[in-house]
Amino acid sequence: DIQMTQSPASLSASVGDRVTITCRASQDIRNDLGWFQQKPGKAPKRLIYTASSVQNGVPPRFSGSGAGTEFTLTISSLQPEDFATYYCLQHNTYPFTFGPGTKVDIK
Amino acid sequence: QVQLVQSGAEVKKPGASVKVSCKASGYTFTEYSMQWVRQAPGQGLEWMGWINPKSGDTKYAQKFQGRVTMTRDPSISTAHMELNSLRSDDTAVYYCARSYSETSSGDYWGQGALVTVSS
């Protein structure tokens, strides 16, 4: 199975901060990667697909980049509603695998 | 608007089976695949497999092979996920998620269905 790692595991940030989360795959997954946001008690919400395409309705402060084995999710100016856990998902090889998550909370 | 509405919470005993439903609306059910993902309490997300609602073709994660069955009923735009031989570590929220194809990630997700396995 392809192993996905995320860093950091958690971070504390302030409103207005620029936040970057990294996701690494144990082998080349081309650009078959999505980013999801999950708030407590809620279903995940897709933010980014195919590594860098922003989902319809997602604010432009969210962006994704990368290909191969290293990917990043960037929030250009953190807003109060962005405090959540973020997961990456590779959908290149079965079984699809998620990263362990990055929890973003308020400093 | 696209909606996936899942069946309610269930409590099951070890060794029993559970069937979770996912009713789709707001799009043509047979034109998108349906993925299933679960999340144990306080844990991360785990992909279980998918079903093609048009053909009925399925793909399961090896971990669940032999215990999971994904089916669909296009006449009522509903997908089902049945998990057998339940164990305590199957306690989780089970999500369905629509995906453009079998090799893409889910764009719309159901609200989740909590399955609790306890004696």
Q: pLDDT tens digits for B41-68?
A: 999 999 999 999 999 999 999 999 999 9
CA distance A97 to chain B (A): 6
The predicted structure's pLDDT at residue B69: 98
Cα–Cα distance, B57 to B72 (Å, whole number): 10
Write the CA distances from B63 to A10, B16, B19, B43, B95, integer angstroms.
28, 18, 18, 17, 17
% of chain B surpassing 70 pLDDT = 100
* Interface membership of B27 toward A (CB under 8 Å): no
The confidence band for A104, taking pLDDT boundaries of 50, 70 and 90, is very high
Query: What pLDDT sits at residue A107?
Result: 85
pLDDT range class, residue B102, cuts 50, 70, 90: confident
Helix (H) or strand (E) holding B69: strand B68-73
Q: Which of B49, B35, B30 has the alpha carbon at shortest distance from B106?
A: B35
pLDDT for A56 beyond 90? yes
Q: Which residues from chain A sit within 8 angstroms of residue B59, using beta carbons?
A: 94
Instruction: Copy the structure tokens of residue B4.
Output: 């996936």
Q: How far is A53 from chain B (nearest CA, A)?
A: 12
Q: What's residue B21's pLDDT?
A: 98
Selecting from A92, A98, A101 the residue whose C-beta is nearest the C-beta of B47 gives A98
> With contacts defined as CB-CB under 8 Å, which chain A residues touch B44?
87, 98-101
Is the CB of B45 less than 8 angstroms away from the CB of A36?
A: yes
Q: Which of B95, B105, B111 sits opposite A89 (nearest CB)?
A: B105
Amino acid, res. B117: V
* Residue among B66, B64, B76, B100 nearest B24 (CA): B76
Task: Determine which of A59-68, B26-35, B100-109 has the lowest per-residue pLDDT on average.
Answer: B100-109
Q: DSSP string of B70-110?
A: EEEEGGGTEEEEEE-S--GGG-EEEEEEEESSTTS-EEEE-
The three-point CA angle A50-A82-A53 to 5° equals 15
